Amino acid sequence: MKRVYVKEEACMGCGLCRVYCLAEHSRTRDIIKAFKRESPRSLPRIRVERNGEVSFSLQCRHCDEPWCVYSCFTGAMYIDEVTGAVAVDAEKCIGCWTCIVACPYGALTRDRDRKVVAKCDLCPGNDVPACVANCPNEALVFAEDGKAGQLVRN
Amino acid sequence: MGKKKAIRTEYLLIGNSAGGIGAAEAIREVDKRNSIKIVSDEPYQAYSRPLISKYLAGERNVDEMLFRPADFYSRNGIDHLLDRKVEHLSLDRRIAQLASGEQIIWKKLLLATGGVPIVPKMKGGDKEGVFTFLALKDAIAINAFIEDDSQAVVIGGGLIGISVTEALMKRKAGVTVVEMKDRVLNTILDETASSIAEEALRQAGVRVVTNQTVAEVTGGDRVDGVVLDNGERIRCDLVVIAIGVLPRIELVSGTDIKVNRGIVVDRCMSTNYPDVYACGDAAEAYDFIYGANRLTPIWPNAYIGGRVAGYNMAGVRAEYRGGTAMNSLNYFGLDIATAGMVVPPDDRHWEVVSQRNNGAYQKIVLNDDLVMGMVFVKDIEKSGMIFSLMKDRVKVTNFRQALLADDFGLAYLPRELWQECLGTVPAGSTSAFGMPAKAEEPISSE
Ligand SMILES: Cc1cc2nc3c(=O)[nH]c(=O)nc-3n(C[C@H](O)[C@H](O)[C@H](O)COP(=O)(O)OP(=O)(O)OC[C@H]3O[C@@H](n4cnc5c(N)ncnc54)[C@H](O)[C@@H]3O)c2cc1C
């Protein structure tokens, strides 16, 4: 399936991906209104990690063997049959946050206002997710690939 | 009941819950053809057991508790035999005898039979108004019984006790929790976190009594109160027993299948008996923190164990990496994530790092630079990364200082590890603008 990959050597840790992610998931989809007018403010679904010279952004890896899905007891987390992406059904989610403990990447966020988990949805409707489209140094790529995350060891 | 003809199946799964469904889904990934039969003595499609408290609270109906879509069984070609109890197994003949008189002959068998509530012997325990809280039928029964101002005594301050307490409070009942040990949630939290949880309960109006147990339930046919060990009488209309769960092993006790506290399974979730597997609350599987088989009765372990069993039953070798007690709680507005040994068992070789501020509390228990336990209260977002270090047995030697830092993240891990997390950028892939993305040449200051 298609995922977002980061080229750590190109990532500057500027955080614009996070800004555009928030805007994309806002009601108005307007970057200024999203930050200054909307309340509650929408949530970014991407983290920016920085440690000294190292920086990279990170969002849901859409694992082939997703611990979050396996750990979800409401059935809210699921693998989309068509795209293979890890998705959440907000109607079913009760905000128990078991998925957050299960995710090795810290890629899931609590939406405390709606009491549901918020995660990367790869920006449905866009050719390319907002984080990728707005990275000033082309550190993010949206590409087809093999796997991420392993449960079964042969 | 008249004897019916035996039906044959490739896969017989007993238990239609986390474990059974996990197995069925894995089997269907690799075997689309052979027959799967899943049997449950409960009359419902697979529902979420932890959500029985939401049912009691009036927040979810039965349909909203189903963790798979209504057409799950038909779409996957799974026969589900509901409201049918397996009464007896003839292991050598591979026959399951159902209470309905039906017989099922299996090639591969999974025991995902879950648990039974522990019910202490106490005087008056058989009165009307005494409940357990493990199945939807229990929540339905309590729902039919309580009224707006009912007074309840919940025996047991563990996860299930707190869960039913919250539901009862939402139904405007008054609740007293009676806990035998000196603090609530004592098996999964340390003292500090327990006291934070207890404070949240008190704030919500729950009375918490510790170091006590219920000696007697009083009343006529119906409950009218309880008497504690110390002689205190508490008036109440109902009593909910929530002191724990034991593996449901009635089908295998006395057979050749090895049972310790639960049904003993290897890393393939196989019992010692050929073609018989077990998982979930009924099983005793590998716990990576204790390095031994243990009961870890939580949903994720049941589902993942079921999955591993399913692959192996279908002839695809898979290995259970192990589970441990891991819980995410959010009762009474408090988010808590906990896993593993939250209190060091002794003073040797153990190290604890913790911090507390603004109502948040974090604690990590280390042994020989391995994370052995964690408790996160309020700020739980980073708990998954710590739990993963625990699960993958990663030595934290070079970054232990950073574990509880505000900006802790994957970037603090050794490069190989975070690189693996990020995955490799597929070769030849292009950036958003169709250009092969490349790194800048370093500009040196000289
Ligand atoms: C109130 C409550 C809250 C919980 N909260 C959490 C939580 O927050 N997080 C978490 O991880 N876990 C939680 N749990 C635990 C979780 O629900 C269990 O770990 C999980 O359901 C175990 O799944 P299982 O498939 O092993 O067994 P079960 O879910 O117990 O299912 C076993 C099924 O098999 C059936 N069965 C057994 N024997 C037979 C037979 N002979 N014939 C036919 N059918 C049979 C049973 O009736 C049952 O339907 C909670 C449990 C309760 C009760």
Ligand 1 centroid–CA A116 distance in Å is 23
Q: Are residues A23 and A38 in the same domain?
A: yes
Q: Are residues B74 and B136 in the same domain?
A: no
Ligand 1 centroid–CA B114 distance in Å is 5
Who wins on pLDDT, B429 or B390?
B390
Q: Are residues B253 and B106 in the same domain?
A: yes
Average pLDDT over chain B reads 94
Q: Are residues A75 and A111 in the same domain?
A: yes
CA distances for B274 relative to A126, B37, B124, B269, B346, angstroms: 52, 19, 45, 12, 40
Q: Which ligand 1 atom minimizes the distance to the CA of B98?
A: 42
In terms of Cβ atoms closer than 10 Å to its own Cβ (0-12, 13-18, 19+), residue B335 is: buried
Q: Are residues B104 and B184 in the same domain?
A: no
pLDDT at B346: 84
Residue A154 lies in a domain: no
Residue B189 lies in a domain: yes
CA A82 to chain centre: 18
Share of residues in chain B with pLDDT > 90 (%): 91
- In one-letter notation, the amino acid at residue A7 is K
Ligand 1 centroid–CA B16 distance in Å is 9
- The enclosing domain of B414 has a CATH number of 3.30.390.30
Ligand 1 centroid–CA B12 distance in Å is 18
Contacting residues for B400 by C-beta, under 8 A, at least 6 apart: B353, B366, B369
Residue A88 lies in a domain: yes
B437 to chain A: nearest residue by CA?
A138
Q: Are residues A50 and A98 in the same domain?
A: no
A71 to chain B: nearest residue by CA?
B300
Ligand 1 centroid–CA B18 distance in Å is 7
pLDDT class of B3 with cuts at 50, 70, 90: low
Which H or E element spans position A132? helix A130-133
Mean pLDDT over B341-356 rounds to 92
Q: Are residues A41 and A79 in the same domain?
A: no
Does A101 reach chain B within 8 Å, measured CB to CB? yes
Give chain B's length. 446
Query: A5–B407: do the CB atoms touch at under 8 Å?
Result: no
Q: Are residues B251 and B238 in the same domain?
A: no
DSSP state of A128: S
Six-digit token string for B19: 């474990």
pLDDT tens over chain A, length 154 residues = 899 999 999 999 999 999 999 999 999 999 999 999 999 999 999 999 999 999 999 999 999 999 999 999 999 999 999 999 999 999 999 999 999 999 999 999 999 999 999 999 999 999 999 999 999 999 999 998 755 444 443 3
A59 to chain B: nearest residue by CA?
B422
Who wins on pLDDT, B436 or B359?
B359
pLDDT at A150: 42
Does A109 reach chain B within 8 Å, measured CB to CB? yes
Does A61 reach chain B within 8 Å, measured CB to CB? yes
Question: Pairing relation of β-strands B223-228 and B233-235?
Answer: antiparallel
Q: Are residues B211 and B281 in the same domain?
A: no
Q: Are residues A89 and A135 in the same domain?
A: no
Q: Are residues B142 and B40 in the same domain?
A: no
Residues of B whose CB is below 8 A from A111? none
- The enclosing domain of A77 has a CATH number of 3.30.70.20
Residues of A whose CB is below 8 A from B308? 151-152
Domain that holds residue A70: 63-119
Q: Are residues A47 and A76 in the same domain?
A: no
pLDDT at B347: 77
Residue B46 lies in a domain: yes
Restricting to B residues 313-352, those with a Cβ less than 8 Å away from any Cβ of A are: 316-319, 321, 326-328, 330, 335, 337, 339
Residue B426 lies in a domain: no
Mean pLDDT over B370-395 rounds to 97
SS3 string, B322-390, reads CECCEEEEEECCEEEEEEECCCCCCCCCEEEEEEEECCEEEEEEEECCEEEEEEEECCCCCHHHHHHHH
pLDDT class of B67 with cuts at 50, 70, 90: very high
Does A95 reach chain B within 8 Å, measured CB to CB? yes
Query: Could you give the 3-state DSSP secondary structure of residue B257?
Result: coil
Residue A152 lies in a domain: no
Residue B430 has pLDDT above 90, yes or no: no
> What are B264-296's pLDDT values in tens digits?
999 999 999 999 999 999 999 999 999 999 999
Residue B43 has pLDDT above 50, yes or no: yes
Give the total number of structural domains in chain B.
3
Does A85 reach chain B within 8 Å, measured CB to CB? no
Q: Are residues A68 and A16 in the same domain?
A: no
Residue A112 lies in a domain: yes
Residue keyed to tokens 């292991």: B91
**For testing contact with chain B, the best of A4, A46, A100, A150 (most B CBs within 10 A):** A100
Does B311 reach chain A within 8 Å, measured CB to CB? yes
Query: A55–B411: do the CB atoms touch at under 8 Å?
Result: yes
Residue B87 has pLDDT above 60, yes or no: yes
Residues of A whose CB is below 8 A from B326? 101-102
Residues with CB under 6 A from ligand 1: A 73, 96; B 14-20, 39-42, 49-50, 52-53, 85-86, 112-115, 133-134, 159-160, 163, 248, 251, 280-282, 297-300, 302, 327
Q: Are residues B125 and B239 in the same domain?
A: yes
Query: Could you give the 3-state DSSP secondary structure of residue B435?
Result: coil
ipTM (interface pTM): 0.94
pLDDT at B433: 41
- The enclosing domain of A25 has a CATH number of 3.30.70
Ligand 1 centroid–CA B47 distance in Å is 10
Domain that holds residue B355: 330-421
Residue B445 has pLDDT above 70, yes or no: no
pLDDT at B424: 80
Query: Could you give the 3-state DSSP secondary structure of residue B132?
Result: strand
Residue B376 lies in a domain: yes
Residue B25 lies in a domain: yes
Residue B434 has pLDDT above 80, yes or no: no
SS3 string, B275-298, reads CEEECHHHEEEEECCCCEEECCCC
Q: Are residues B97 and B124 in the same domain?
A: no
Return d(Cα A107, Cα B373) in angstroms, integer.
21
Query: A101–B380: do the CB atoms touch at under 8 Å?
Result: yes
Q: Are residues A45 and A4 in the same domain?
A: yes
Query: A133–B51: do the CB atoms touch at under 8 Å?
Result: no
- CB-CB neighbours of B277 under 10 Å: 29
Does B145 reach chain A within 8 Å, measured CB to CB? no
Pocket test for ligand 1, best of B25, B39, B48, B49 (most atoms within 8 A of CB): B49
Q: Are residues B239 and B346 in the same domain?
A: no
Q: Are residues A9 and A53 in the same domain?
A: yes
Mean pLDDT over B117-145 rounds to 97
Residue B133 lies in a domain: yes
Q: Are residues B189 and B203 in the same domain?
A: yes
Query: A49–B382: do the CB atoms touch at under 8 Å?
Result: no
Residues of A whose CB is below 8 A from B440? 10, 137
Q: Are residues B124 and B235 in the same domain?
A: yes
Q: Are residues A31 and A82 in the same domain?
A: no
Cis peptide before A40 (omega within 30 of 0): yes
Q: Which residues pair with B214 in a beta bridge?
A: B228
Query: B437–A100: do the CB atoms touch at under 8 Å?
Result: no
**For testing contact with chain A, the best of B162, B429, B443 (most A CBs within 10 A):** B429
Give chain A's length. 154
Tell me the shortest Cα–Cα distance from B345 to chain A, in angstroms: 23
Restricting to A residues 63-82, those with a Cβ less than 8 Å away from any Cβ of B are: 67, 70-75
Give the total number of structural domains in chain A.
2
Residue A153 lies in a domain: no
pTM: 0.95
Tell me the shortest Cα–Cα distance from B298 to chain A, in angstroms: 9
Instruction: Enumerate the H helices of A25-127 as residue ranges.
Output: 31-36, 67-71, 98-102
- The enclosing domain of B285 has a CATH number of 3.50.50.60
Q: Are residues B129 and B104 in the same domain?
A: no
Share of residues in chain B with pLDDT > 70 (%): 95
Tell me the shortest Cα–Cα distance from B2 to chain A, in angstroms: 39
**Distance between terminal CA atoms of chain B?**
93
Residue ending a domain, choose from B190, B221, B243: B243
